[in-house]
């Protein structure tokens, strides 16, 4: 970290803000900035925030009977999310690599969401109806989605964006 700070201080010495801003036009810097911004945008477009905020309503609409049961399912969802993130970042990330985990996690999460979307489009579930087998699978798919998401896009994007600008003095 000290070496990087010294390198940046030496690079920026005597230049003003606009001179430094012009450096964004350099191909290596521009590409790194674009990759980091696209990854953060894609992370936000996964739909995780909608599930986080509306999970009690989602579980209830998929057939979870009572409010207390849907809140319990939401609590289990939060625990699964936390445990998967810790396991992925501590034990899995460096063994498989960032790119492979992002691809696998994105594919698995997308397949789970496609099932949930298809089920909702076909069955039109509401909290008033009797729970069906498809509803149970949809609930399981929410947990599968969060497992794939947290094993990949939840933490890797933040790590990658912090590492993408770490370059050596030969990069300039």
Among the residue ranges 9-18, 28-37, 143-152, the one predicted with the least confidence is: 9-18
pTM: 0.83
Tell me the CA distances in angstroms from 66 to 28, 49, 78, 161, one per residue in order. Answer: 54, 23, 19, 41
- Tell me the average pLDDT across 134-139: 92
pLDDT at residue 12 above 80? no
User: Do the beta carbons of residue 153 and residue 42 sit within 8 Å?
Assistant: yes
CA end-to-end span of the chain: 18
Residue 170 has pLDDT above 50, yes or no: no
What residue ranges do the domains of the chain occupy? 47-171
The hierarchical CATH code for the domain 47-171 is: 1.20.1250.20
What is the pLDDT, as a whole number, of residue 172? 46
pLDDT-derived band at 168 (thresholds 50, 70, 90) equals very low
């Amino acid at each position: 970290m000290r070496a990087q700070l010294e390198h940046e201080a030496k690079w920026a010495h005597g230049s003003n803000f606009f001179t430094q801003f012009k450096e964004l036009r350099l191909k290596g810097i521009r590409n790194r900035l674009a990759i980091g911004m696209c990854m953060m945008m894609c992370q936000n477009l996964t739909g995780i925030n909608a599930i986080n905020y509306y999970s009690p309503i989602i579980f209830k609409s998929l057939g979870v009977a009572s409010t207390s049961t849907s809140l319990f399912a939401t609590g289990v969802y939060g625990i699964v999310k936390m445990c998967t993130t810790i396991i992925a970042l501590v034990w899995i990330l460096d063994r498989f690599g960032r790119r492979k985990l992002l691809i696998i996690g994105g594919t698995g999460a997308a397949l789970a969401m496609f099932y949930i979307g298809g089920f909702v489009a076909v069955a039109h579930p509401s909290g008033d109806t009797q729970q069906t087998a498809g509803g149970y699978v949809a609930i399981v798919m929410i947990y599968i989605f969060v497992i794939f998401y947290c094993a990949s896009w939840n933490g890797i994007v933040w790590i990658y964006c912090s590492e993408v600008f770490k370059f050596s003095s030969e990069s300039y």
